Amino acid sequence: MVLLPILGMMWVVVTAAPVSRLVELAMTSMSGRFVASATAMGDALLSELAKIDVVVWMECERMRVGMEQVQTRQCQVLVCVASIARRLWEKEVELDVACRC
């Protein structure tokens, strides 16, 4: 999947500092589970950022489609209003002609 860039957004490359496997194994979290390596955390972060990018892109696309629909409806309303104004003007002319007789 290729994501299109979002205006104003910069891509950041996450690099992990090399960590000794022994140090990783020695570190545990409060729950007793081992702390994930910096690389795994970086990968998880990139994965989450990619998911966020997809959600933002989908929402932007949804808003763009909605705006196109609103613009189409506005154009249709303007055409209807112009048609009604023309018919009203024609009826006013007919009324003026009828009143002169």
Q: What digits encode the pLDDT tens for the residues 75-99? A: 999 999 999 999 999 999 999 999 9
Asked if residue 98 belongs to a domain, the reply is yes
In a domain, 4, yes or no: no
Does some domain include residue 78?
yes
Residue 2 DSSP SS3: coil
Residue 6 lies in a domain: no
Summarize pLDDT for 3-52 with one digit per residue, the tens.
556 655 555 554 555 555 545 555 555 565 555 688 888 889 999 999 99
Give the span between the Cα atoms of 100 and 65, in whole angstroms.
Answer: 53
Range of the domain at 83: 69-101
Does 1 fall in a domain?
Answer: no
Q: Is residue 9 part of a domain?
A: no
Residue 33 belongs to some domain of the structure? yes
Domain count, the chain: 2
Distance of CA 43 to the CA centre of its chain: 24
Q: How far apart are CA 72 and CA 29, in angstroms?
A: 56
Question: What pTM, to 2 d.p., does this model score?
Answer: 0.49
